[in-house]
Amino acid sequence: MTDNKKDAAVAFLKMASSGDVREAYAKFVGEGFRHHNPYFEGSADSLQAGMEENARQNPDKALEVKRVIAEGDLVVVHAYVRHKPDDLGAALVHIFRFENGRIVELWDLGQPVLEESPNQYGMF
């Protein structure tokens, strides 16, 4: 079941980032979904609307999954996203909580990629 949750979390992010937001929600989000993104009210509808607007504004958005970790009912996805092809983008971490094979809770954190950084290992 852990691999299924990992696959579901990655598929949800890829579908949502490519503009298939409604389909991603229909396929993967469970009843009573809530999220912790501070820029939106905590319901599924609020975040879904924000994701749809972001997809409209950024039709060339690219999401590259770097690593996926699962433990129990939690899945963590570390990814690199660019809203436009020439953007430096950002590192994202999404934490999903699953119940009965569906996403019921989501946390997301982001950090912009810097043009110059003193860290020789990079963000990924």
Q: How many CB atoms lie within 10 A of CB 43?
A: 13
Rounded to an integer, the average pLDDT of 102-116 is 97
Encode pLDDT of 53-88 as tens digits.
999 999 999 999 999 999 999 999 999 999 999 999
The domain made up of 2-112 has a fold known as Nuclear Transport Factor 2; Chain: A, (3.10.450)
The whole-angstrom separation of Cα 81 and Cα 83 is: 7
Q: What is the mean pLDDT of the chain?
A: 95
Please name the residue that has the structure tokens 């009965």: 100
Under the banding of pLDDT at 50, 70 and 90, the label for residue 119 is very high
Encode pLDDT of 6-37 as tens digits.
999 999 999 999 999 999 999 999 999 999 99
Give pLDDT, residue 107. 98
pLDDT over 80 (residue 1): no
DSSP letter assigned to residue 88: -
Rounded to an integer, the average pLDDT of 98-107 is 97
Under the banding of pLDDT at 50, 70 and 90, the label for residue 3 is confident
Helices 21-28 and 2-17: crossing angle in degrees, nearest 10, is 160
Residue 117, φ and ψ in degrees, nearest 5: -140, 145
Buried b / exposed e over 55-80, threshold 16 CB at 10 Å, is beebeebebebeebebeeeebbbebb
